[in-house]
Chains A and B, each alone.
Chain A
Amino acid sequence: MIDKTSLGAIAEQVKNYLLMDNITQYFEETGVKDIDFKKIILHDKFEGNIYAVDGSNGVIFDLTSVSFNLIRAGYVSYIGKKWQKTVLFDKVFKADTEHYMYQFENDLRNNFDINSSFILAKTELDRLSTYYRELQEYVALYEAISEAETGDLVLYDGDFAYWTDPFREVLKIIFDKAEDKDLDLLAISKSSTFSWGKGFSKPFVLHTGYAGSRIIPNNPWYIELSGKNIKPKPKGKNWKGKIYVIKLHPDSEFVFRLDAPPHVASRIDKALGHLSMYSSSSECLGYPHALFRAHRDLSIKDLERVHLNNLLIDELSDKGVNDKHIRSSLDYHTILEMKQGRRII
């Protein structure tokens, strides 16, 4: 058990990261100025559709060297404040570092007509299923964009800015399509690794929230990050869009990172006016409500994952694989956990 003194010391360090006791230092070191913060003017006459895209994944069978993952992606659509529908699709992805390419290549070819090889750097291999989920989210995003009509708002849970391989081509197709259809495509991140400060990696988005709410206390606001002194640099290879920190409701405590492709960045006031208008729900004040719904509707619950695992074990039994085989194949941690019943994940 950690003693109170040590805990106090840790708390002191956390406090240094958490609080921003010197706003001047923040302005000096980040290059942010008062005038960078802009008010968002609400556009309450928006009558278009709002689409929100999200995805999730969960392991349904883990053999350590290879795992089978349930991947779910999809989108929700709203007209104003009224939910219209949720579209989702499930896939099983086999995460095998020696044998993964064809699954990506197959999907890239079938959905985006991209025929290039799909090879990940060695350092990225343990994130195979995350990449596959991301690809499925792009498939869903493309589908939502295809369905959307001129002027609609399309929201993506994540970011666009680090527009590098392996999905650079995919994102280009998506942005082009969104631009052709004149859609307001925006990516909103629930978390951000942006930091500032010399010697300390202070949370930039959080501290920008403190600063912005002092400067514009009773209104939603945004700030564009071009040229700001933050880490990592808010500009990816080939990325021509812009990155923002936004606060969508004055009563909310939360601020978010937002990425906009170039054609949306040029009219960001209007797009944020629409977005802010639909970020005032009771359930998630200050966060785009459609993304809230997408997150809830598309998440894979633990119960569902375990259910699928049980079904899979039944299938294995039908194919002559008994429980002994299955247990002997498991990571021994699973045995140590002594999980009840047939649950092995």
Chain B
Amino acid sequence: MKDFITTNQLSIMDDDASSHVLERKTIDRTKTTTYKIISKDVREFHFIIPYNERVELGQIFSIRDYGVKDDEITFLARVTDIKHDSNYEGKWDTALKGTEFYDEDQIFNRIVAEPLGCIIFNEKINKKEFKKSKTIPSKFSEVEKASFDEFEFLTEKMGDLEVGYLRNGSQVVEEIGVKLNSEIMDHHMGVFATTGMGKSNFMKVFAASCMKKASMGESKLGLLLADPHGEYLLGSAKNNTKGLLHLGKYSDGLICYSTNKKNAEKNGEVEDLKIGLRDIKPTDILPLVGEWRTAQVEAIESLDSEITSDWLKSFKEDGKLVIKNFDPRTINVIERRLKRLLGFSYIDEKISSIDKIIKSLQEGKVVLIDMQGINEREELFLLSLLSRHILDKYREESLDECKKICLITIEEAQRVLGGKDSSISRFEIIAREGRKFGVGLCAITQQPKLVDKQLLSQFNTLVVMGLGDRNDRKCLEESAKQDLTTLDVEIQTLEKGEAIISTLKVPFPIPATIHLYEDYIEQLKKKDQTDGSPVSKAKKLSRPPD
């Protein structure tokens, strides 16, 4: 029967339509919206998972959007938050009287994920490549835990100095080594963590990788590593840790000095550090003392502009300084402090280690200066002095393209980069200008909030290893070149040895598990024995159940 009802001249609907089922649906347990994109926008993806399954902050998921022909995209997104959610409205869960949850498919966890980018096929190069994503996945695109294949592009983005493995949540992806790029180290590196989170271990692993490169003749970076606590040289028997000297295989990539004669005598590989009298300019002594009066600083600067290279030798012989137009009492104070300097065991009339140190750095070696036993001000004096010589030398040879980049490490960097103490402004100069001459700073601190913000913004590689203080995290988030704001909770919950590494050339902040130094040197030894093939078993990433 065909029967048309008309309103004015218009036919509205065929009567038969109402007799037919418009849609018949059977929804069963296999049809689920879990692990499918349900919202939200270009900056934030949401999907849900069953309430009894686990996902961790920082875990990376892949979203396959193959719905559009010839435009297949795989998005990568990192979990930034996990929330309880359900299909029920309101505060149903606080008004419950029963104890049994029947409908497991109605209660779930909502995963908030930050898009990292997308993998698309580039026809021009006939290869998949990673790009920043400028769109969103189609609704209900399938989500699954990212597999090794989807991370593989990262291997091309990594540098040459291995420090750990990629971490997906708390799962280690051993197939993907996290490697820093030595070529960008003159853009400065910051290592930030509270006590006990693994800063020293990280530096030893980093130094070991530098040593290995140097030993193999592939180094592009000279590393100056000051060791005020003696932990880098030999490790600690008490804590059962090892030092750089234990990496015997690559010992030719390491040059060690010590301010402590006993250490030098005990270890054949360690030389006695010597600073020659001619190495020291008057302004070099400023870090020796925390507070200088303005007149004293002016007197020293005046002296700096007038003296000859033998000024300190002359002073040692005469015991007198001649500085015109300054009060004798001001000069007396400077003389007294210079005499104290001359009493330091590593100050030598004839011999100097500085040229050799710089030469080793220029050859791309690791130079370790063991400073165990000297006080904080002496340590700053020595570092400041060495930094000045390095910067001067690199400045002189700035046109030498074969020269390796130099990275100067400073422990408790907030002491010298706080922007307040003018006596140690040399480090600030390196932070601001060093990259022009191939000199970078590696600032290690547990209180980034105390580092001058402008200086912090000069750091292009950040290794963040767990910071409980919100102000510290905020400070880094404001200064980082990559967006760390969404990682705030993850940084707060990082375990010992876990890190977020933000660096140039890698498209997003990389979650990493830093090698344990003692394991790493064992691994390096084994790798040599097995001709470079990987030794550790790879932990495969599992897919979620259907």
Binding site for B on A (CB under 8 A): 63, 66, 68, 81-94, 96, 99, 102-103, 106-107, 249, 251-252, 280-283, 285, 289, 293, 296-297, 316, 319-321, 325, 329
Contact = CB atoms under 8 A, between A and B. Distances in A.
Interface string B98-122: 1111111110000000000000000
A281 B18 contact: no
Contacts of A93: 18
18 contacts: A83-B104, A85-B26, A87-B24, A89-B23, A90-B21, A91-B19, A96-B5, A99-B3, A99-B5, A280-B98, A281-B98, A281-B100, A282-B97, A282-B101, A282-B102, A283-B98, A316-B10, A325-B7
Nearest to B102: A281
Interface in B419-440: none
B19 A107 contact: yes
B29 A92 contact: no
Given A91-B22, A289-B102, 7 more contacts: A282-B101, A282-B102, A285-B97, A293-B103, A319-B10, A319-B11, A320-B10
Contacts of B12: 316
Nearest to A88: B25
Interface in B52-107: 87-88, 92, 96-106
B13 interface: yes
B10 A87 contact: no
Interface of B: 1, 3, 5, 7-8, 10-13, 15, 17-29, 87-88, 92, 96-106
A85 B24 CA distance: 13
A103 B21 contact: no
Contacts of B11: 319
A316 to B, nearest CB: 8
A87 B25 contact: yes
B197 to A, nearest CB: 42
B10 A81 contact: no
A325 B24 CA distance: 32
A103 B17 CA distance: 10
Nearest to A297: B27
A269 B105 CA distance: 32
Contact of A90 (B23, B92, B99): B23
A85 B10 contact: no
Contacts of B1: 102
A86 B26 contact: yes
Contacts of A96: 5
Contact of A91 (B5, B18, B88): B18
A145 to B, nearest CB: 17
Nearest to A139: B21
B20 A283 contact: no
Given A91-B21, A92-B18, A103-B18, A83 B10 contact: no
Given A280-B100, A321-B10, A92 B22 contact: yes
A282 B98 contact: yes
Nearest to B29: A84
Contacts of A325: 7-8, 10
Contacts of A319: 10-11
B26 A87 contact: yes
A282 B10 contact: no
B10 A84 contact: no
Given A84-B28, A103-B19, A68 B97 contact: no
A209 to B, nearest CB: 16
A280 B8 CA distance: 56
Contacts of B97: 251-252, 282, 285
Contact of A83 (B3, B22, B100, B103): B103
A7 B26 CA distance: 50
A215 B178 CA distance: 72
A86 B98 contact: no
A85 B21 contact: no
Nearest to B99: A282
B100 A81 contact: yes
Task: Report which residue of B1, B12, B22 has the largest number of chain A beta carbons within 10 angstroms of its beta carbon.
Answer: B12
B177 to A, nearest CB: 45
B162 to A, nearest CB: 49
Contacts of A252: 97
Contact of B25 (A63, A89, A106, A282): A89
Contact of A283 (B8, B25, B88): B88
Nearest to B20: A91
Nearest to B21: A89
Contacts of B15: 94, 99, 102-103
A87 to B, nearest CB: 5
A84 B31 CA distance: 11
Given A102-B1, A320-B10, A329-B7, A283 B21 contact: no
Contact of B28 (A85, A102, A107, A296): A85
B25 A281 contact: no
Given A68-B13, A329-B7, A281 B101 contact: yes
Contacts of B20: 91
Nearest to A289: B102
A28 B100 CA distance: 40
Contacts of B24: 87-90
Contacts of A66: 5
A96 B3 CA distance: 13
B13 A83 contact: no
A281 B93 CA distance: 12
B22 A283 contact: no
Nearest to B25: A88
Task: Report which residue of A87, A252, A282, A319 has the largest number of chain B beta carbons within 10 angstroms of its beta carbon.
Answer: A282
B92 to A, nearest CB: 7
B22 A90 contact: yes
B100 A282 contact: yes
Contact of B96 (A86, A99, A282, A293): A282
Nearest to A76: B27
Contacts of A83: 29, 102-105
B102 A81 contact: yes
A342 B89 CA distance: 27
A106 B16 CA distance: 10
A233 to B, nearest CB: 35
Task: Report which residue of A94, A289, A329 has the largest number of chain B beta carbons within 10 angstroms of its beta carbon.
Answer: A94
B23 A283 contact: no
Contacts of A68: 13
Contact of B29 (A85, A87, A283, A285): A85
A63 B99 CA distance: 48
A180 B94 CA distance: 44
Complex A-B, nearest 5 residue pairs according to Cβ-Cβ distance, in ascending order: A85-B28, A282-B98, A281-B102, A285-B98, A89-B24
Nearest to B1: A102
Contacts of B8: 325
A333 B104 CA distance: 43
Task: Report which residue of B13, B19, B22, B87 has the largest number of chain A beta carbons within 10 angstroms of its beta carbon.
Answer: B19
Contacts of A90: 21-24
